[in-house]
């Protein structure tokens, strides 16, 4: 595949600065002969050591040497210690074909990852295919690079390949550059794509020659049956760019994620990354890397599976409360991820109701219109996050929602 043909006009000629491109080996920075870089002198750093206590009682000691790494500049793809932990983890979890031809780039979370992908690949006017209802940051981002967004509707199994084909056919007056998709526990619908569905979509990517960006923060949050593979697992042609994050596993405050893709793509992404933020915070990278070392790869995966069981209990609590209060008023499916996606029956739009009736009574939920390209359009959907609920909050919350819907229905069809 000709990787160069996918880059945006603006990124085609981007290259790393002299200093960054010659920083091959971090170790060489420490020799007395490094008279090139404007590195702060570690002898003057105010911190020397750190200790973190894990929730299993273990203690992480961050040594003086690591504190020096944490407080120093690093390479644009991340501190070598973390990159060398993530590469085998992607290989083990997702078994992508030709992993040796791919690279991992540590980013400041998925949003930052998605941003550098958009800048690197999208030329104004390029077509980008997205789920009909999706993570709103993506609309803002794609608008900012003047992409032509094409929404593709789905069914209970996620994006429909036949509608994607239709959309691709209709977009023949421009370049169909990429598809953005959330494969597991979608935001907002909670749907996990089956492997068959992924295969159908992937084969369209090969046929119509576009890239797939899979943004997968909810990979571990699958509850009833697990689809452990992803688009990257199917990617024989090197057209998948995978975006991972530690936000839902270690914590959103570490602001760390990682992109896995073919090496020529990652090298170009790295330039964009260096341009915007030099690299993700080495401080966070050191702590995350030490945490991964302490847990071990298996331990980290186990921790996520244990947390998934706890999230499943919260999901089931939300489902029970929905059955109690919303039966006959809403429809929903058992979701993966963090969100229950409610369809309010007999109402065309719930935006006013959510703002005027729910917010005013202290119930904060997201009206479905927020997930559309044009958020002024009507939507009967509501996104409820169950990641932090208690029995009391979800019970009272759904009671308020039921009352609000009933009031709205009465207003729409007052009794004669
Ligand atoms: C689909 C999707 N992508 C990206 C993000 C943001 O992730 P991060 O915290 O890694 O930037 C979220 C967070 O809610 C999300 O749902």
C-alpha 85 to ligand 1 mean position (Å):
22
Q: In the predicted model, what is the mean pLDDT of residues 331-341?
A: 98
Q: Which domain holds residue 37?
A: 3-128+171-180+201-216+226-295
Distance 222 CA to ligand 1 centre (A): 16
Q: Which residues pair with 212 in a beta bridge?
A: 179, 240
Please tell me the predicted confidence (pLDDT) of residue 416: 55
**What is this structure's pTM?**
0.95
Q: Is the CB of 217 under 6 A from ligand 1?
A: yes
Same domain for 272 and 366: no
42 DSSP 8-state letter: G
For position 14, what pLDDT does the model report?
80
Q: Which tens digit of pLDDT belongs to each residue from 283-334?
A: 999 999 999 999 999 999 999 999 999 999 999 999 999 999 999 999 999 9
Task: Say yes or no: CB of residue 351 within 6 Å of ligand 1.
Answer: no
Instruction: Let me know whether 345 and 401 are in one domain.
Output: yes
The DSSP code sequence of 339-390 is EEEEEETT-S--HHIIIIIIGGGT---EEGGGGSSSTTS---EEEEE-TT--
CATH, residue 35: 3.40.640.10
Does residue 158 belong to any structural domain of this protein? no
Burial 364-384 (b: 16+ CB within 10 A, else e): ebbbbbbbbbeeeeebbbbbb
Q: For the domain that residue 344 is a member of, what is the CATH number?
A: 3.90.1150.10
pLDDT at 279 over 70: yes
Query: Are 175 and 243 in the same domain?
Result: yes
Radius of gyration of the chain (CA): 23
The response to whether residue 252 sits with its C-beta less than 6 Å from ligand 1 reads: yes
Same domain, 251 and 393: no
pLDDT exceeds 60 at position 137: yes
Q: Which atom of ligand 1 is nearest to the CA of 113?
A: 11
Q: What is the pLDDT of residues 46-59, one digit of tens each?
A: 999 999 999 989 99
Residue range 173-188: mean pLDDT, rounded: 97
Q: Are residues 266 and 377 in the same domain?
A: no
Alpha carbon of 26 to ligand 1 centroid (Å)? 31
Two tokens, residue 406: 């009933």
Distance 111 CA to ligand 1 centre (A): 6
* pLDDT interval class at 34 (50, 70, 90): confident
Of residues 408 and 414, which shows the higher confidence score?
408
202 pLDDT band, cuts 50/70/90, is very high
In a domain, 118, yes or no: yes
Query: How much is the average pLDDT of 167-174?
Result: 95
Whether 407 maps to a domain, the answer reads yes
| CA-closest residue to ligand 1 atom 16 | 187
260 lines ligand 1 (CB under 6 A): no
Please check whether residues 117 and 243 belong to one and the same domain. yes
- End-of-domain residue from the set 278, 295, 312: 295
Res. 150: pLDDT tops 80 = yes
36 and 88 within one domain: yes
Q: Which of 270, 295, 320 is the last residue of a domain?
A: 295
Rounded distance, CA 349 to CA 381, Å? Answer: 8
15 has a pLDDT exceeding 90: no
Pick the last residue of a domain from 268, 295, 322.
295
- Number of independent structural domains in the chain: 2
Are 310 and 260 found together in one domain?
no
Residue 35: pLDDT band by 50, 70, 90 thresholds? confident
Task: Write out the two tokens for 410.
Answer: 């009465």
Query: Pick from 173, 178, 169, 109: which is nearest to 142 by CA?
Result: 178
Q: What is the per-residue pLDDT across 217-233, written as a single tens digit (0 to 9) for each? A: 999 999 998 989 999 99
Q: Cα of 243 to ligand 1 centre, how many Å?
A: 10
Residue range 384-403, pLDDT digits in tens = 999 999 999 999 999 999 99
Query: For residue 142, is it within any domain?
Result: no
Percent of the chain with pLDDT strictly greater than 70 = 95
Mutate to test the pocket of ligand 1, among 247, 280, 281 (most ligand atoms within 8 A of CB): 247
Asked if 37 and 55 sit in the same domain, the reply is: yes
Q: Is residue 51 part of a domain?
A: yes
How far, in Å, CA of 406 to CA of 86, rounded? 50
- Whether 80 is in a domain gets the answer yes
Residue 249 has pLDDT above 70, yes or no: yes
Average model confidence (pLDDT) across the chain: 94
The answer to whether residue 329 sits within a structural domain is: yes
* pLDDT of the residue at 18: 63
Pair 308, 258 in one domain:
no
DSSP state of 212: E
Same domain for 281 and 326: no
pLDDT at 404 over 60: yes
On whether the CB atoms of residues 382 and 370 are closer than 8 A, the answer is no
Q: Is the pLDDT of residue 22 over 60?
A: no
Q: How close is the Cα of 110 to the center of ligand 1, in Å?
A: 6
Tens digits of residue pLDDT in 67-86: 999 999 998 999 999 999 99
**Rounded CA separation 27/165 (Å):** 50
Asked if residue 117 and residue 21 are part of one domain, the reply reads yes
Beta strands in 110-232 (DSSP E): 127-131, 148-152, 154-155, 158-159, 176-181, 211-215
Tell the residue nearest (CA) to atom 12 of ligand 1.
217
Q: How confident is the model at residue 415 (pLDDT cuts 50, 70, 90)?
A: low
* Average pLDDT score over residue span 29-45: 79
Mutate to test the pocket of ligand 1, among 137, 254, 311 (most ligand atoms within 8 A of CB): 137
Does 188 sit behind a cis peptide bond, omega within 30 degrees of 0 on the bond before it? yes
Closest atom, ligand 1, to C-alpha of 112: 11
What distance in angstroms lies between residue 244's CA and the mean position of ligand 1's atoms? 9
CA-closest candidate to residue 116, choices 284, 258, 20, 231: 258
How many C-beta atoms lie closer than 10 Å to residue 356's C-beta?
Answer: 13
Which pLDDT belongs to residue 6? 96
Residue 109 Cβ < 6 Å to ligand 1: yes
Asked, for residue 55, whether it belongs to a domain, the answer is yes
pLDDT at residue number 224: 94
Residue among 190, 217, 259, 371 to mutate when testing ligand 1 (max atoms within 8 A of CB): 217
Which residue of 106, 135, 218 sits with most ligand 1 atoms within 8 Å of its CB, as the best mutation to test the pocket?
135
User: Cβ(111) to ligand 1 under 6 A?
Assistant: yes
- Kindly state if the Cβ of 320 falls inside 6 Å of ligand 1: no
For the purposes of burial, counting CB atoms within 10 Å of the CB of 342, is it exposed (0-12), middle (13-18) or buried (19 or more)? buried
User: CB–CB of 264/255 below 8 Å?
Assistant: no
Cβ of 189 below 6 Å from ligand 1 = no
Strand partners of residue 384:
340
CB 177 within 8 A of CB 6: yes
């Amino acid at each position: 595949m000709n990787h160069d043909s996918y880059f945006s006009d603006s990124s085609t000629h981007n290259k790393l600065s002299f200093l960054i491109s010659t920083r091959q080996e971090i170790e060489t920075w420490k020799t007395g002969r490094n008279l090139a870089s404007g590195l702060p002198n570690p002898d003057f750093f105010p911190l020397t050591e750190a200790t973190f206590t894990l929730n299993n009682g273990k203690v992480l000691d961050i040594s003086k040497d690591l504190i020096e790494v944490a407080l120093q500049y690093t390479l644009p793809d991340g501190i070598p210690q973390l990159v060398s932990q993530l590469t085998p983890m992607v290989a083990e979890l997702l078994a992508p074909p030709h992993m040796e031809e791919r690279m991992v780039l540590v980013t400041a979370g998925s949003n930052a990852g998605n941003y550098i992908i958009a800048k690197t690949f999208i030329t104004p006017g390029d077509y980008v295919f997205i789920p009909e209802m999706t993570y709103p940051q993506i609309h803002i981002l794609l608008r900012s690079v003047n992409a032509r967004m094409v929404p593709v509707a789905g069914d209970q199994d996620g994006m429909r390949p036949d509608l994607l084909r239709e959309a691709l056919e209709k977009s023949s007056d421009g370049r169909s550059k990429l598809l953005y998709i959330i494969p597991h526990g979608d935001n907002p619908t909670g749907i996990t794509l089956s492997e068959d569905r992924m295969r159908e979509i992937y084969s369209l990517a090969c046929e119509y020659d576009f890239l797939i960006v899979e943004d997968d923060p909810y990979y571990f949050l699958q509850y009833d049956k697990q689809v452990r593979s992803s688009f990257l697992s199917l990617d024989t042609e090197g057209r998948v760019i995978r975006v991972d994050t530690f936000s839902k596993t270690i914590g959103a405050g570490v602001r760390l994620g990682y992109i896995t893709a073919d090496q020529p793509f990652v090298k170009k992404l790295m330039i964009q990354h260096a341009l915007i933020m030099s690299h993700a915070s080495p401080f966070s990278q050191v702590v995350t890397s030490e945490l991964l070392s302490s847990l071990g790869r298996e331990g980290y995966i186990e921790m996520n599976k244990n947390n998934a069981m706890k999230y499943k209990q919260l999901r089931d609590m939300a489902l029970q409360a929905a059955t109690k209060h919303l039966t006959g008023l809403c429809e929903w499916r058992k979701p993966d991820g963090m969100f229950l996606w409610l369809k309010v029956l007999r109402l065309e739009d719930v935006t006013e109701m959510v703002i005027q009736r729910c917010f005013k009574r202290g119930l904060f939920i997201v009206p479905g219109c927020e997930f559309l390209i044009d958020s002024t359009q009507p939507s009967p959907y509501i996104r409820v996050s169950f990641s932090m609920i208690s029995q009391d909050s979800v019970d009272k919350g759904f009671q308020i929602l039921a009352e609000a819907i009933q009031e709205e229905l009465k207003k729409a069809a007052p009794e004669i």
